[in-house]
């Protein structure tokens, strides 16, 4: 079905792998469209509770944009292609379920932008993350100038965007750019372990909590607090809330149904 990605499901887990290891998993326009098709499959499958995004091979998560396509970009295509990538990455960000980027090797340019669109990020020791576009005479175009400062603060984001220098996994963790750093051989096991924890939580509570936290970057404190209150009220009307409280009071394990 796909030429540039792999898409697999296993119960509550879906895994989307950028599968161009001979090109360091560089993303071209065709890969972007295939990712969006896979996201549509995620949304249509009620069994899927968590999505992991990763790259094939040991060298890169995604090492950047396909340089041949980038070389052909002009004023018109540059606008069209970056807007399309922004749409697809925002699609990832706004999924009702959480997503985890499992990062090994290089995550540069559009690769880091893809990782930042995910809900959480797990990096292998030795991973390198950066926005090197300035070295090519351009700036990030798939969300880097917007999502990076929201994660690490304006000062750190400004340094990464203006110098183009990458940071290693340890520094990325220190900055808040990634959530966990693990040995490379344990990367997918750790990502799947985290996914299993998320999948075990009440579906609606995870969905509403994710939405409420994302609202932090979009408006004022007053707007965020009001939105949080509405989402809290919605969660109070769920069957899972009744089950969770009852299980706590009865000192037993809850049986959440996602309703």
Enumerate the active-site residues. Answer: 113, 133
| Residue 210 exposed, middle or buried by CB count within 10 Å (0-12, 13-18, 19+) | buried
| 81/100 Cα distance (integer angstroms) | 24
Angle at 82 between CA 77 and CA 84, to 5 degrees: 95
- Residue length, the chain? 259
Q: Which residues contact 2 (CB under 8 A, 6 or more apart)?
A: 19, 34, 37, 38
- Give backbone dihedrals phi and psi of 122, rounded to 5 degrees, phi first: -115, 125
Within its chain, how far is the Cα of 103 from the centroid?
10
Packing angle between helix 110-117 and helix 144-152, nearest 10 degrees?
60
Q: Which of 104, 121, 120, 100 lies closest to 48 in space, CA to CA?
A: 100
Query: Residue 121: enclosing H or E segment and its boundaries?
Result: strand 120-124
Please tell me the distance from the alpha carbon of residue 35 to that of residue 43, in angstroms, as a whole number: 13
Q: CA angle, corner 174, sides to 172 and 180, nearest 5?
A: 70
């Amino acid at each position: 079905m796909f030429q540039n990605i792999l898409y697999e499901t296993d119960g509550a887990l879906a895994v989307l792998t950028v599968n161009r290891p001979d090109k360091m998993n560089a993303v071209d326009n065709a890969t972007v469209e295939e990712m969006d098709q896979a996201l549509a499959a995620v949304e249509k499958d009620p069994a899927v509770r968590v999505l992991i995004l990763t790259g094939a091979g040991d060298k890169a998560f995604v090492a950047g944009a396909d340089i041949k396509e980038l070389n052909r970009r002009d004023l018109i295509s540059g606008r069209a292609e970056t807007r399309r990538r922004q749409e697809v990455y925002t699609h990832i960000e706004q999924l009702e379920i959480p997503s985890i980027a499992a990062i090994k090797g290089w995550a540069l340019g559009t690769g880091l932008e893809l990782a930042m669109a995910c809900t959480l990020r797990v990096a292998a020791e030795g991973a390198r993350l950066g926005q090197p576009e300035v070295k090519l005479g351009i700036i990030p175009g798939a969300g880097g100038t917007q999502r990076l400062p929201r994660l690490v603060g304006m000062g750190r984001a400004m340094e990464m965007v203006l110098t183009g220098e990458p940071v290693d996994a340890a520094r990325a963790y220190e900055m808040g750019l990634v959530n966990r750093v693990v040995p490379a051989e344990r990367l997918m096991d750790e990502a799947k372990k985290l996914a299993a924890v998320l999948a075990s939580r009440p579906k609606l509570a995870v969905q509403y909590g994710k939405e409420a936290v994302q609202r932090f970057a979009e408006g004022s404190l007053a707007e965020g607090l009001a939105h949080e209150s509405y989402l809290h009220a919605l969660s109070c009307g769920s069957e899972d809330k009744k089950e969770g409280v009852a299980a706590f009071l009865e000192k037993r394990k809850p049986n959440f149904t996602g309703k």
